[in-house]
Amino acid sequence: MKFQSIITIDRHFIEQEKRFPYATGEFTKILYNLSLAAKIVTRDVRKAGLVDILGITSESNSSGEVQKKLDMYANDVFVSVMNHDGIVCALASEENDGLIELDESSWGGRYVVVFDPLDGSSNIDANVSIGTIFSIYKRVSPAGKASELRDVLQPGYKQIGAGYVIYGSSTMFVYTTGNGVHGFTYDPSCGEFLLSHPNMKTPARGSLYSINEGNWVSFSDGIKSYISWLKETDKPTGRPYSSRYIGSLVADFHRNLLYGGIYIYPGTEKAPQGKLRLLYECNPLAMIIEQAGGKATNGTRRILDLVPKELHERSPLFIGSPENVDKAMEFLNQSPA
Ligand code: AHM
Ligand code: MG
């Protein structure tokens, strides 16, 4: 029997680091720490129904949403793995109002990590896939003192790494450092993430669309006519397309990345910036989709070019296969929101 070569995530990180002859290994250590946190969260997501870790707490996050205990637990795990070796100078999480306080040992750190520790948390109790999303930037303020807000409020094109973890039927860790997108599946029997999806590319066009159609009445005319177009019958363009919407961004994104299609969370009259957060959700996934050959826009501009003004800023998101995103933009341009 012939064995395929087995590539662990650590080996892959080290191979990627070799592209940079002056690398100190610190960036690689961040990736290693993120994968360690993903293993710890996997362990606890898997037994979430068995221990007293589920259930709604009375606390709300900065956006006023009710947090689940597992969100806060995952948040603590990611903060604690990031905040101990002085490599990271600034940490920001969707679950914290401001920058996470780090002690003086972080002042010399050269990197910034922002993350959504457990996205899709409304799905936890129903055993539906949830995820973690992260991105990494280089510090812009001078080292040797506490980091500043500007270290975190950088446009997405400045990301030097981004990824997500999906806690699904198996756990996968998908990441990019600007050299393609690589996916690893967790093998619990040996406690390792193993390379299962090297150099992931999204199809140029796909027949899936993902949007919360329950919000139909508040969609712009452009979006309504695009969605209606997707439902028409037309053999040459493969219509009608299939609607798939889990309500867990990581899971919806991951499926569309593999099969091709478009995910949309638009702005509405009531919420012109939509629901998703630019820093924690849109930017990392935008870097990944571009590395996989896809596109991400807010309806008028490339997501990665947007300059965030605040930590919890939201943005409309159209993301997926390039031809699907282009087509959606044609409709939007005809009847702008
Ligand atoms: P969360 O970060 O609080 O979990 O919220 C973000 C989630 C995304 O995972 C998902 O795509 C979206 O909210 C679903 O929103 P809606 O229920 O409005 O369709
Ligand atoms: Mg989220």
Distance 153 CA to ligand 1 centre (A): 22
Distance 23 CA to ligand 2 centre (A): 32
In this model, does residue 59 exceed pLDDT 70?
no
Whose CA is closest to atom 17 on ligand 1? 247
Distance 276 CA to ligand 1 centre (A): 7
- From the CB of 116, is ligand 1 less than 6 Å away? yes
In this model, does residue 19 exceed pLDDT 70?
yes
| Residue spans per domain, the chain | 9-197, 208-334
Tokens of 194: 């193993």
pTM above 0.75, yes or no: yes
CATH of domain 208-334: 3.40.190.80
pLDDT at res. 47: 76
Q: Which atom of ligand 1 is nearest to the CA of 119?
A: 4
Distance 265 CA to ligand 1 centre (A): 9
In this model, does residue 159 exceed pLDDT 80?
yes
Share of the chain above pLDDT 90, in %: 79
Say which range, 49-53, 213-217, 250-254, 326-330, has the weakest mean pLDDT.
49-53
CATH of domain 9-197: 3.30.540.10
- From the CB of 171, is ligand 1 less than 6 Å away? no
Interval 116-126: pLDDT, tens? 999 998 888 88
d(CA 305, CA 332): 19
In this model, does residue 72 exceed pLDDT 60?
yes
Name the band, by pLDDT with cuts 50, 70 and 90, for residue 97.
very high
In this model, does residue 220 exceed pLDDT 70?
yes
**SS3 per residue for the chain:** CCCCCCCEHHHHHHHHHCCCCCCCCHHHHHHHHHHHHHHHHHHHHHCCCCCCCCCEEEEECCCCCEEEHHHHHHHHHHHHHHCCCCCEEEEEECCCCCCCCCCHHHCCCCEEEEEEEEECHHHHHHCCCEEEEEEEEECCCCCCCCCCHHHHCCCHHHCCEEEEEEECCCEEEEEECCCCEEEEEEECCCCEEEEEECCCCCCCCCCEEECCHHHHHHCCHHHHHHHHHHHCCEHHHCECCEECCCCCHHHHHHHHHHHCEEEEECCCCCCCCCCCEHHHHHHHHHHHHHHCCCEEECCCCEHHHCCCCCCCCECCEEEECHHHHHHHHHHHHHCCC
Mean pLDDT of 269-283: 95
Among all ligands shown, which has an atom nearest to the Cα of 253? Answer: 1
Backbone CA torsion sign across 53, 77, 276, 328? negative
pLDDT at res. 53: 54
In this model, does residue 198 exceed pLDDT 90?
yes
In this model, does residue 194 exceed pLDDT 60?
yes
Whose CA is closest to atom 5 on ligand 1? 120
- From the CB of 212, is ligand 1 less than 6 Å away? yes
Mean pLDDT of 82-96: 93
Residue 220 contacts residue 336 (beta carbons within 8 Å): yes
Name the band, by pLDDT with cuts 50, 70 and 90, for residue 56.
very low
Interval 284-310: pLDDT, tens? 999 999 999 999 999 999 999 999 999
Say which range, 123-137, 243-257, 295-309, has the weakest mean pLDDT.
123-137
pLDDT at res. 215: 94
CA 187 to chain centre: 22
pLDDT at res. 180: 96
Name the band, by pLDDT with cuts 50, 70 and 90, for residue 253.
very high
Which chain residues have CB less than 5 Å from ligand 2, an ion? Answer: 116, 119
The average confidence (pLDDT) of the chain is 92
pLDDT at res. 58: 47
pLDDT at res. 327: 98
